[in-house]
Amino acid sequence: MRKKIIAGNWKMNKTPSETVALINELKPLVANDEVDVVFCVPAISLTKAIETAEGSNISIGAENMYFEESGAYTGEIAPNMLTDIGVKYVIIGHSERREYFAETDETVNKKVLKAFEHGITPIICCGESLTQREQGITIDWIRQQIKIAFLNVTSKQAKTAVIAYEPIWAIGTGKVATSAQAQEVCHAIRDCIAEIYDEATAEAIRIQYGGSVSAESAPELFAQPDIDGGLVGGASLKPDFGRIVNYNK
């Protein structure tokens, strides 16, 4: 039985001091031992977030990371900078990074490999645009994203990975995918992992849905057999996140 994992992606929101206040506010609301709870916050707030979350069930993740160890890469964050302060997860290849910061399937793969090398769990994002969905190429597109993201990743590593399926047309639009649409793609992702590796790896890997997840839509989405939790944007900054994490109560 896979443990559900529900992560907030704070995106470019909250200053470090606002981060402390929000984590303190949400801490009692997100207590649920049956679920892994992760807050992914801007790099500048990671240290404060880790200090504030100490002793709670909240793990802290980064929203991005570079694929080199160190050197002349002005503005970038290296993997050992994250592990040094206790970061456990990192979002890789969010569609906003692909769209605004020129990330590609190839850079996603490099970052995924680096994260594993440093013992950081990657939350690997994939998703189709509205045009691709209308063209009927969603599954082909997602399979391609997954195959490249997992190049040279071992099955032992893949078993610990998290994949976030986030249809781009559902992000920040209030247009949540139906649970049937989300399940169909998450199932196809699991099949793809079984093809690359084996059934055991496919059964172990956790696949989240993301895109306008709310306290109202979460219970039905998370009840789907191949959906192991969510990657939540807007609603993760509000007390609603507590209701999402406690979707099963």
Q: Are 12 and 42 in contact (CB under 8 A)?
A: yes
Which regions of the chain does DSSP assign to beta strands (E)?
A: 4-9, 35-40, 58-62, 89-92, 121-126, 162-165, 206-210, 229-232
Q: Is 120 left (phi over 0), alpha (psi -120 to 50) or beta?
A: beta
**Residue whose CB is less far from ligand 13P, 124 or 235:** 235
CB of 182 to ligand 13P, least distance (A): 13
* Rounded-to-integer distance, Cα 4 and Cα 35, Å: 5
**Cβ closest to ligand 13P, residue 120 vs residue 232:** 232
Minimum CB separation of residue 1 from ligand 13P in Å reads 25
Q: Which residue is nearest to ligand 13P, using beta carbons?
A: 233
Q: Annotation-wise, does 233 bind a ligand? A: yes
**Interacting residues toward ligand 13P by CB under 6 A:** 9, 94, 166, 171-172, 210-213, 231-235
Measure the CA–CA gap between 85 and 61, rounded to whole angstroms: 11
Cβ closer to ligand 13P: 126 or 197? 126
Q: Is 172 annotated as a binding residue?
A: yes
Least separation in angstroms between CB 122 and ligand 13P:
14
Are 138 and 132 in contact, with CB atoms under 8 Å apart? yes
Residue 138 CB, shortest distance to ligand 13P, in Å, is 17
- Indicate which residues carry an active-site annotation: 94, 166
CB 78 within 8 A of CB 65: yes
Nearest one of 120, 218, 131, 121 to 177, comparing CA atoms? 218
Residue 9 labelled as part of a binding site: yes
Taking the least distance from each CB to ligand 13P, the nearer of 123 and 201 is 123
Question: Does 229 appear as a known binding residue?
Answer: no
Give the whole-angstrom CA distance, residue 194 versus residue 222. 21
141 is annotated as contributing to ligand binding: no
- Rounded CA-CA distance 249/69 in Å is 43
Q: Which residues carry a binding-site annotation for substrate?
A: 9-11, 172, 212, 233-234
Q: Which residues carry a binding-site annotation?
A: 9-11, 172, 212, 233-234
